[in-house]
Structure 1
Amino acid sequence: MRMNRLIALGTLCGVLLPLGYRVQADTLQTRTGTYNGQVMRVEGGSVFIKMPQGEFAVPIRDLVRLDVPPPAAYEKGIAALKSGNTKEAITLLKPLADRFAGLPIAWAMDSLMQLGEAYLEQKDVSAAQAAFDTLKKFYPNTPQAQAVDVKNARVLYALQKFDDAIKAIKVYLDPQLKKDFLPADQEVPVSEALVLMGDCLAAKGQLNEAMDNYLKVVTLYDYDDARKAEALFKAAQTLEKLGNWRRAKDCYSDLLADAPDSPYAAEAKKQLDAITKAHPE
């Protein structure tokens, strides 16, 4: 009886699961059955999964659970981006974004986000914009989709449209700063938005306002260590421009103490030595 029931479920799904069928890497579960195989792509609102019996299209709206481990290319792409190899990151992440955009799982969404980041690093703003727009299209009700407003503001900053960038940041940032508590996945884009706001204001010559945004990251929204190091460095640079040598030295010293392996550390050490020599007081 149990065997007949399993066969019936498989038939309802359009799949006949034989006795002893080996569960493979990827699993898609609907209300009427389970598909085990290899997810190949997302297309037309369905996930296509390859099984011994053939390839089947499972509508995303019917999914109740999925277990699809990230491909090796995803991990390698993220590592390449972190190491500064943006060309390699794009080579690895773009095929994933093209094939899996819309798959309701974290790594597929993050592939789009990181692909956009890689394009921004290469100053390919149109490709970055396309990646971010795709993320917002397929994942509209996620915190990441909200954070895309910050990414779009980075595109505007790259185009030197500072006023437009500030407006875009405020749309995202103002409601976030009113919250009593932010979980980590929301605090990270908030810190990015504050640093970017500081960059926009600094570009407009509003140095005190820029410094205030950088220091908010250092003192209040410091979950992301890399962003905190960036904020410390930019706060120190701004304080130098304002002639506040003592506080600039403090910021450089804090950066070197807290993040000695940061990409900003070498320049911070150089600047700290120069300020200390020129302004020993």
Structure 2
Amino acid sequence: MSDLDELLSGWRTLSEWEQDPYRDYRAWNRLVDKCNHLAEKAVADPAGVEALRKIAAEDPDRSVRLNARHFTTPYVPRPDSKRDLDRWMNHPLIDLVSLGIEPRVGFALSPGEEFDIEEELTEIGLCWFGGEPVTDGSGEWPRRPDGTPLIHLLQVELGNQPLLDDNYPLDGVLQFFHDLDGAGEVRLVSGEPTGLLARPDDAPVRQRRRAHVDPVWTFPAAGDLDRELAPAEAGRLDLAHRRLRETLLNEWGLHEHTDPAPEYPLMLGWAGLLSLPEPPIDFKIREDDLRAGALDTAWAVQKSKASNHSPPR
């Protein structure tokens, strides 16, 4: 029996055992370790990668397809396991170790269900898309120089996120506004929220949606590094970012979305970058300014497929 046949047989056995609530967990763990070893050998060989991709696309057993996809489209592990991160970065299809990149913990936000605020603000959390943002009693609704009101897109409660490293020492609530035409503003509400900021009558309305927050490993953009990457290196870094979006889209391998992953609401631990998918807007701020709370240097741009923007230096 070839290694690939043995691997496929092991995955089918695991699929059967998934249905048995009384399975032998020691035998389960031994078989998982064996299958992982065989799969890691397979992805080190281009022919093995193609064989696993065929299994991931065509096998009738969903559990087997998910296992194959996990190795041919390796998902970024959760931040609570540095060992899993090291294994992922050394994966033959990822190979970030040679770039000398140290991932940092950031957080990803995805829009959830619509909701109305009926409870006290302290009871519901302060992360949401749209609607009116909170206020500490200071400041007015932001406008463009010509008086056009901006739209509130998202607010994030910084002091209540688990696993973040000291790249996010700020407490308070970050708020993101945009006019959907090129002008944006980022604010920090540092005082105790006293209620919602009054929305002027001429400001567009966006339905409030809960923001689901997940801590994630994040990677720098090529422009954030202190050296220029060779094309092959830049390609590996781009792949890491794509794998992160696919990981979030598939909820760490629970789903089988095979369409190209859309831009995901994502706060990066490296440079405070937030990308909103609809409309496609990037908010960026230099890391030192984020740590210092100098949000007047934050920068926002509406993206287009034909352009490649970078923040001002």
Larger radius of gyration: 1
Shorter-chain TM-score tier: under 0.3
Greater RCO, CA 8 A, separation 6+: 2
